[in-house]
Structure 1
């Protein structure tokens, strides 16, 4: 039986995490290591120079589960280097996140960061998200994902970023392999004064998805497809590097 490590950034009590665990528990050997509290937007941050408390919890399913007082990437790193160092998972799944992680969202996403940490450890890793206000329940997303999982190409430790749309199209093939699109935000910062009289700012962002062509993850979501976007670790601008080397 394949071993799966479930992580996320919405926290140990998130509905998406429970739904994924509930759907997979009969067919896989599951372990859960998730943040104690909400950790969205943490990317692949690690709790350097800080103590990280880890506590065993009752997850109300027949799985071993821990909550970590740290970041999503901390969860993956502790699981692979400490908790299950001698019994590594075959697959790491991060999610189901409550909110899409599309285009440039992947630079900030704790869901993607937790999966990318698994990819760094040479383990087949997948981030799974559902867009805001989706008509699909977490259980429906988990079940569709479970059916697709065996078909995902995995002869190497690939990394996939999977996003579910608001409503799935009526087409026979609901999945699209995509490239990363571009999403920008119009950010608004609301100022408030705290109990000590200090000024605090709270950010609210409105996404702008204009200009994404067919074949991008954002196009897929807006057209009712489940986007499967393969990601990699390297971010080197290879074209610029080549030009710089030729200019020497």
Structure 2
């Protein structure tokens, strides 16, 4: 039976994490390592200069589970380098995240960051998210994902970023393999005064998805497809690099 490590950024009590576990538990050997509290937007940050507390918890299912007082990437890193160092998972699944991780969202996403940490350790890793306002329940997302999971190419430790739309347009044509699109945000900062009388800022962002061509992850979501976007680590601007070398 293949071993799967479940991680996320919404925290150990997040319904998306539990829905994924409930759907996979009969077919895989699961273990759960998730943040103690909400850690969205942490990207692949690590607690480099802090002590990290890890506590074994009752997950409500017959799986070994730990909550980590750290970031999503901390969870993955501790799992593969400490907790299961001698019993590595065959696969890491991060999610189900409550909110899409599309286009340039992947630069900030703790869900993607936790999966990318697994990819860096040479383990097949998958980030799974559901867009805000989706009509699909977490249970439905987990079920559709689990049916597709055995069909994903896995001969190498690939990294996949999977996003579910608000509504699937055609149940007979659900998935699209996509490239990363571009999403920008119009950010507004609300000002609040805390109990100590100090001024604080709270960010509210409105996404702008204009200009995404057919084949992008954002295009797929707006068309009612589930987007499967293979990611990689390297971010070198190869074209500019060649120009610089050539003088």
Q: TM-score, normalised by structure 1?
A: 0.99
The answer to whether the aligner puts 1:100 opposite 2:94 as a matched pair is no
The structural deviation recorded for 1:173 is 2.1
Distance in 1, Cα, partners of 2:114 & 2:125: 9
Q: Tell me, in whole angstroms, the C-alpha distance in 2 between the residues paired with 1:124 and 1:110.
A: 17
Match of 1:65 in 2: 65
Q: Partner residue of 2:74?
A: 74
In the TM superposition, what is the alpha-carbon distance from 1:172 to its structure 2 partner? 1.9
Structure 2 Cα separation of the partners of residues 185 and 179 of structure 1: 19
Displaced runs of 4 or more, over 6 A: none
Unpaired segments ≥5 residues, structure 2: none
Query: Could you tell me which residue of structure 2 aligns to residue 154 of structure 1?
Result: 154
Number of the residue aligned with 1:189? 189
Q: Secondary structure at the match of 1:17?
A: helix
CA-to-aligned-CA distance 1:115-139 (integer Å, 9 cap, x gap): 0000000000000000001000000
The answer for the alignment partner of 2:238 in structure 1 is 238
The structural deviation recorded for 1:195 is 1.3
Q: Deviations for 1:11-56, whole angstroms, at most 9, x for unmatched residues?
A: 0000000000000000000000000000000000000110000000
Aligned to 1:126: 126
Pairwise CA distance, 1:147: 0.3
Which residue of structure 2 lines up, in the alignment, with residue 37 of structure 1? 37
Structure 1 match to 2:142: 142
1:218 matched residue in structure 2: 218
Looking at structure 2, the residues matched to 82 and 133 of structure 1 have their Cα atoms a distance apart, in angstroms, of: 37
- DSSP 3-state at the match of 2:245: helix
Could you state the TM-score of these two structures normalised by the residue count of structure 2?
Answer: 0.99
Q: Deviations over 1:189-232 (max 9, x none)?
A: 00111111111000000000000000000000000000000000
Partner of 1:207: 207
SS of residue in 2 equivalent to 1:105? helix
Where 2:20 maps in the other structure, the secondary structure is helix
Q: Distance in 2 between matches of 1:69 and 1:129?
A: 22
Distance in 2 between residues matched to 1:9 and 1:246, nearest whole Å: 43
- Stretches of structure 1 that go unaligned for 5 or more consecutive residues are none
Secondary structure at 2:197's aligned position in 1? coil
Deviation of 1:246 after TM superposition, in Å, equals 0.3
Alpha-carbon distance in structure 2 between the residues aligned to 1:42 and 1:57: 23
Q: Please provide the CA RMSD for this pair.
A: 0.5
Q: Distance in 1 between the 2:215 and 2:171 partners? A: 16
**Shift in Å, 1:171:** 5.3
By how many angstroms is 1:105 displaced? 0.1
Number of the residue aligned with 2:55? 55
Determine helix, strand or coil for the equivalent of 1:47. coil
